[in-house]
Structure 1
Amino acid sequence: MEAGTHGAELDELLRVVRRRSPAAVLAWLGGRVGADVAWVGRAGAVDAATPGFPPGIARVLPEHAGPLVGGGLAAATTHLDGREVRLEAFGGRAPRPVLVTASSAPLRRHAAMLASHAGGLLELLDRAGEADENARGYEAKSRQLRFAVLTALMSGDVTLARRMTTDDVPPLLGAERVRVHLLHCTPGDRDRLARTYLDPSGYHGAALMVHCPAFKEHLICPIAEDVEPGGRLRQGEVLRRLVRENPGYALGVSRPHPLAAMGEAYGEALHALTVARNSPDRLAVYRGRPSLVQVLPRRPAAAWASAFLEPLGAVPKPTVDVTRLAVTFPRAAVARLLHISRTTVAAHCRRAEEALGVDLGDVRTRAALDLALSLTAVHPGPADDRGPAPTLPELLRTAPAVTWAESFMGPLHTGRNGDLHRTVQAWVDTGADARAAAARLGLSRNTVRSRLRAAERLLNRDLLTTGSGIHDLVHALDVTGGQRALPADETDHRARWPGGRAAS
């Protein structure tokens, strides 16, 4: 055959190989050499074959291909069912794949060469597929490790995070202070971005890019403040550039925090992201007021929280952990976060409700429970038992709480924002139900949600995604005048908590 014709065949073969389909390559080769063709994989079984490949030969192929797969032979020819069967192994290391042709007459030299070319290219396709699979496995494992490291940091356990990374500790874990950047993007872009900026160690320089398991549009990116990633743009600048270049993106950024306070930084970034999504440049750095937890007087606050949560000492720790998340995040998000069913989340919440004697369907009860859980995290250890624990209403009447609440609600107290104040009050009073609030105010549901988004911007709090901002709003409204009047007999330290449980 002329060289030009042979070259044209090879070009055609390469075009077929680019489809990355062994079946297509075998069909093309069988038509060219006048034979039925099969591909025996490294496991010794037929992975693909042309439709006319004789079933009788296919059944005995593993026996004949075995020595070639194992590396004992490079090629062999035999006769089966009245056909010449030619076997050729490819690759340098066993186990090796084998190309098999079955024809009524011996293959001519040119046909045998073409079969060898096709077999070599199929083996390269095999190796490319293995490399892709290994790369996907590596990416999946590094993604799991990054999530585990972030989870440890969210709980404040920096030592555990470092232990997880063994001898290859990422620069982020050597930082003294970090900012959490929370990027809102499409779910598909999360994968692409995490791969694009991945370093050889499976991290992202002095940062991490971690898929948020609760919200599929969020990419959580803690970035070290005091570690410079050599030779590359600072990751914060990269994220800002991505927001500028992609109209559907938004970025919320926390203030700098110690590494062990990653959870608090994440909360700030979440609030900032809410502001960013309602801002023209889709970027916001958290500048909100401190939370109520940070300003309450320590001893009475710890005493109240300890008394409120005492019944939870009788339930399993996983129930407390699940309930802690469920008072802040939607239950579906909690299920995704913990890889459990929504039914399991609901069962844990019911167990906590029964122990506390409360109804977690009530927004004020959820706010009280979240406050108590947050206070025990900030003030761990035994409570001050020198006197009876205060009630929550008494705790909220302390001077620091009143000052905090007036400052928090200040942006909604101006004349032009009176409608926003009335709307958030009605929304809280109807259990954070926009439809019920709309009916009470005589407005449309869309108008209520629009006003809530405006309130989010002014308060610098997320109200519509998680419960953390709602709970601050509930307490601030109660302190500044939205609180329902207390019955006359609720004046001592045995007053009932929101939800019905007595302090004693």
Structure 2
Amino acid sequence: MGGRGGGTDGRDADTGAAARADVSGDDAVWARELLDLLRPGAYDAGRVVDWLGTAVDASVSLRDDTGRVLAGTGCPAEESILADVVSGRLASAAWEGDGRHLRLIHVDLPPPAGGGVLAVARTTPFDRRAAGIVTRTAAALELLLRAEHTTATGLRLARATSDLRLAILQLLMVEDTISARRVAAGLWPGLLDTDTTCVYVVESTPADRDRLAEACLAATRDRALVVRCPAVDAHVIVVTPGEAEGAALRRLCDRDPGTYLGGSTRQSLAHTAAAYGQAVSALAVARFRPDRAAVHAERTHPERLMDPAALASWAGALLRPLDTLPHHTRGELLATTRLGLEFTAVSAAKILGVSRNTVRARMERVEHLIGADFSDLTVRATVHLALHSQAAGAARQPGPAPAVLGGLLAGTALRAWAHDLLARLDTDGRDLRRTLRAWLTAGGNAERAAQLLGVHPQTVRDHIRGAEPVLERQLLATGSDLYEVVLAHLATGDLDGPVAGGTESGHPDAPVHR
């Protein structure tokens, strides 16, 4: 471009001179406008460049060292001078000619770009005001781009760390503790150097979940595995080997009235999936408690009232067909089935990081092996009992005689617990107990239960919701709470036992009621 070249002062001199300029009157107006564009959450390089063009009545562009226009529109200039400014050999350059006035200012760009240039072209000369605006905007753009890069890098690192924590949890969920330890060792040495662990689920709101996760990390001082639950947007999952972290989470919930805490009993690290199910079950109880916290061991569970040897004998016989599988495959099938019975297939898939079709295929394989039909609510409840008792480490020594489910449910302690639990419903004038029995008989289907009772389906749903706080158990969502209530009805005789799966008695795939 023809014309007269201008001075090439150093950046410090340009910035210092602009900084010493008197900011008053009209200067104060444009300074405030520029500051507004630089507020956190609002700044954008394109908006700043567009504002500069309007403020000085010019064509403005921001280009990187490859010539690519990052913002604004292209301004023609001598390529050799452009190269000198982009590389930093010249801090700035100016031309006049052909009725145009051009300013070029070097701008440090974040990696991978080495440098860039802010080009401003006017049809009138640059007065003191225009020159000051251009110089200060160039400096502001550098700070803005550096902040954006730092923020983006921080977000990418945080996202990668979060994904890594989720990957470790998913490995634990399928009992692959060796791989989980290997993955964790690089970033969190010693985190999983334990044989047992507790799992906590902290609940807030989806909008507050990120803040809650950071609060959990701070409370546990990075001595726990903190994961944003992939299945429930309001949940944060915390896997911790120590007791102090659980106490810290309780204090966190005490300080925040919008949070709830559910915890598991201490479990083997390989049984993280079972511990997670316990924590979710305890969370349902926490919602009805004034301190908004509960631990699974704080209430009586039916398996604790059964003879341990008889329970182990029955569960071992039921699940024995899986013992012939390779260890990893067996663990994968058991963990998937536990989660699939505890939650929906979609939620279990999100937790495990697989497709819902994979979850269903694995559960169907378990159905085939043990001769079960998971469409039957009583079958799901009894298989869940077997899986949970094994995960809880029940003794495997067989009893004096082969155990049967009917014998386990006929125990004096269990029957007393079941009668006491269901008797809580008798104090409600709506006959919640009758509605609940019909609903369970209908497999948890409100429409079919309504037909049995001769009422509207919404009445059934209302009664089931009304029974939840009375029993301190979550019924409308599948899981441990629902299965405990099913076992209580089986123990009292209010429900028939599981229907045979169609395989021969004595066959390795014999049905669950044996």
Structure 1 length-normalised TM = 0.76
- Which has the higher mean CA deviation after the structures are superposed, 341-350 or 468-477? 341-350
Paired residue type of 1:392: L
Give 1:126 shift. 0.7
Residue pair 2:499, 2:513 contacting (<8 A) in 1 also: no
C-alpha distance in 2 between matches for 1:153 and 1:487: 33
C-alpha distance in 1 between matches for 2:136 and 2:437: 76
Return the match for 1:340 from 345, 348, 354.
354
C-alpha distance in 2 between matches for 1:258 and 1:480: 30
Return the match for 1:297 from 300, 304, 308.
308
C-alpha distance in 2 between matches for 1:101 and 1:187: 46
Paired residue type of 1:147: L
* Partner SS for 2:343: coil
C-alpha distance in 1 between matches for 2:336 and 2:136: 59
Return the match for 1:115 from 122, 130, 134.
134
Return the match for 2:252 from 205, 223, 238.
238
Return the match for 2:30 from 5, 9, 12.
9
Give 1:501 shift. 7.5
Q: CA RMSD in A?
A: 4.5
C-alpha distance in 1 between matches for 2:357 and 2:245: 45
* Partner SS for 1:210: strand
Residue pair 2:343, 2:479 contacting (<8 A) in 1 also: yes
Paired residue type of 1:403: A
Residue pair 2:56, 2:130 contacting (<8 A) in 1 also: yes
Equivalent in the alignment of 2:235: 218
| 1:281-360 to 2 correspondences below 5 Å | 282-284=292-294, 286=296, 287-292=298-303, 295-298=306-309, 301-302=312-313, 304-310=315-321, 313=324, 318-360=332-374
Give 1:187 shift. 0.5
1:21 aligns with 2:68: no
Residue pair 1:182, 1:269 contacting (<8 A) in 2 also: yes
| 1:362-401 to 2 correspondences below 5 Å | 362-379=376-393, 390-397=403-410, 399=411
Give 1:223 shift. 6.3
* Partner SS for 2:201: strand
Paired residue type of 1:90: V
Q: 1:237 to 1:501 in 2, by over 3 A?
A: closer
Q: 1:254 to 1:193 in 2, by over 3 A?
A: closer
C-alpha distance in 2 between matches for 1:300 and 1:259: 19
Give 1:9 shift. 3.4
Equivalent in the alignment of 1:46: 69
C-alpha distance in 2 between matches for 1:424 and 1:467: 16
Q: 1:303 to 1:66 in 2, by over 3 A?
A: farther
Residue pair 2:105, 2:118 contacting (<8 A) in 1 also: yes
Residue pair 2:308, 2:395 contacting (<8 A) in 1 also: no
Residue segments in structure 1 that go unaligned for 5+ positions in a row: none
1:184 aligns with 2:203: yes
Q: 1:278 to 1:259 in 2, by over 3 A?
A: same
Q: 1:487 to 1:322 in 2, by over 3 A?
A: closer
Paired residue type of 1:74: A
Residue pair 1:411, 1:458 contacting (<8 A) in 2 also: no
The number of aligned residues is 480
C-alpha distance in 2 between matches for 1:9 and 1:137: 34
* Partner SS for 1:37: strand
- CA displacement, residues 407-430 of structure 1 (integer Å, 9 cap, x when unaligned): 144121365369343333222211
Return the match for 1:439 from 447, 451, 457.
451
Residue segments in structure 2 that go unaligned for 5+ positions in a row: 1-20
* Partner SS for 1:360: coil
1:89 aligns with 2:106: yes
- CA displacement, residues 377-427 of structure 1 (integer Å, 9 cap, x when unaligned): 34599986x999544334444x4xx52243144121365369343333222
Residue pair 1:275, 1:284 contacting (<8 A) in 2 also: yes
* Partner SS for 2:299: coil
- Which has the higher mean CA deviation after the structures are superposed, 7-16 or 184-193? 7-16
Paired residue type of 1:125: L
Residue pair 2:265, 2:278 contacting (<8 A) in 1 also: no
Residue pair 2:200, 2:261 contacting (<8 A) in 1 also: yes
- CA displacement, residues 427-478 of structure 1 (integer Å, 9 cap, x when unaligned): 2211112332233223444443344345444444332223222222223322
Paired residue type of 1:467: G
Q: 1:203 to 1:26 in 2, by over 3 A?
A: farther
1:411 aligns with 2:421: yes
Paired residue type of 2:287: R
Equivalent in the alignment of 1:35: 58
